[in-house]
Amino acid sequence: MLSVDRLPPPLSQGLALTALAPMQDVTDIHFMGVIAHYGSPDYFFTEYFRVHNSSGLHKHILRSITENATGRPVFAQLIGESVDDLVRIAVALSHYPIAGIDLNLGCPAPRIYRKNVGGGLLRDPDMIDRILGALRDAVKGRLTVKMRLGFDNTAHLDRILDLINRHHINLLSLHGRTVKEMYHSDVHYDLIAHAVQRVHCPVLANGNVTSAIAAGAVLAQTGAAGVMIGRAAIRNPWIFQQTRQYLSGQPVTTVTLAAVRNYIERLRQVATTAAIPERARVSHMKMYLNYIGQSVDAVGAFLSEMRRAHTETELFGTCDRYLLSDPDQPFALEPYPGLVARPRAETAHAAIAS
């Protein structure tokens, strides 16, 4: 039986915890393996299992648990509002090698929150109380929550934080924006710091943790037990290793453009198959490259040219020109100001990520 009062040990004792944020359509078994190759976080979280009255255990998400070769614990995330079905799926998942059950109270995608799930539930603390109470009774191991500060304001924040305490949640991952703020506003680190003081469990600070230096600054400002990193880990899979190095006073690994090209090739090999049409393979790779490209060149020429590619030959030819013409040039630790990712779809940006 899983311990309900202790989290799995971190990779480096005495340092802050790190976690890869779950991102729908991104953090599958393949991407987790790629991240692990460059330096695992302390914890992984699955894409969310969508829970309703006819739902089961989605096979492609279940692979992130049953085929996990990262050497690190994986939490299984659920999203839904049907109390009985959330309990049913949580109990079914408890028979697999998971670190715990995580409840999604943060997804900001309109098509999700309009169904009163994910971030939509932040409008209804009474329903959150019912869900957490039922899950706490049913889950004998760890129960964790990933949430935002509120739906369109923070009026319910303290009440929901008190529910985190009442139901003995083991870990809270808190994105420092409301649902309506999406990813556009400044992150309210002061409210994450407030949550750290109010709840009894460890808190992972989430939102704009774009580098190891940023992680250190967020930890200092919030007093959180650790950081959860999402989109920045797509751009820079070395970020967890670099964060441990920075926090322990070691030199931070310098990443070259040649190393980034190797990372892209690794993504290509594990994320696409010949059975998928070329157009779909190109589109899938562009989703990753929209993030990676933010640190390739300051003017965004790589992003602009990459987005115009229609074939794999064009796409990877662009990668070669920009990344291998001066392969020893450092890859920027932070994204260049003004260069933003353009997601493939709503879900690639939304999930419960950074």
DSSP for 244-279, written as a single string: HHHHTTPPPPPPBHHHHHHHHHHHHHHH--TTS-HH
CA distance 112 to 135: 21
| CA distances (Å), origin 140, targets 122, 170, 224 | 25, 12, 26
Is 201 among the residues known to form the active site? no
What tokens were used for 30?
A: 């393949």
Choose the catalytic residue: 74, 107, 267, 287: 107
Strands of the chain (E only): list them.
17-20, 44-50, 74-79, 100-105, 143-148, 171-175, 203-206, 226-229
What three-state secondary structure class fits 101? strand
At what angle are helices 189-198 and 157-166 packed, to 10 degrees? 30
Classify residue 302 as exposed, middle or buried by CB count within 10 Å of its CB (0-12, 13-18, 19+): buried
CA distance 29 to 51: 20
Write out the H or E segment, with its range, that includes residue 214: helix 212-222
Which residues are known to be catalytic? 107
